Amino acid sequence: MRVSFLVYGVLYVVIEMIGHALETVGWAHVTPLDVASALTDALLFVVVCIALVVASDVARQRWGPALAAWHEERLRAHAEAQTEVVWDDGPIGVTSWRPEPIALAAGPQPAASSGGGTYATTTYGPRTPGHAFPEEPGHLL
């Protein structure tokens, strides 16, 4: 019963593909070559689908038992690993991969502002007025 439904379904798809190909050409301009081309395309589609089904069935028969045994072995190993684990409430010791921090010298401290201003002078920019980039060799970036 299921095979007959499958055959009717495949026949329906083939007829629809042929009809679509002939409709694309235009019913008034259909030639025997167009019919043969549509029929060949539809049958090629059916043959490729059958090849995929057969290849999947052969792969299932060939690799199915090995895959099932591998899956069962993985489940058994997982069950054994779960029974061997003993949880401890103590802290877990971890060594750091980071190097010891380098002691850096403190940068220049800003001078105390005189005159009671509301802002402090910053250390950004040049300290003396003039060129920001000196022209002497050795001081260039």
Average pLDDT of every residue of the chain: 79
pTM for this one?
A: 0.46
The domain locations on the chain are 2-84
Q: Is the pLDDT reported for residue 123 higher than 90?
A: no
pLDDT tens, position by position, 78-110: 888 777 656 677 777 777 777 777 777 777 766
Reduced 3-state DSSP string for 27-62: HHHCCHHHHHHHHHHHHHHHHHHHHHHHHHHHHHHH
6-10, 27-31, 60-64, 131-135: which has the minimum mean pLDDT? 131-135
Cα dihedral 17, 21, 27, 33 sign: negative
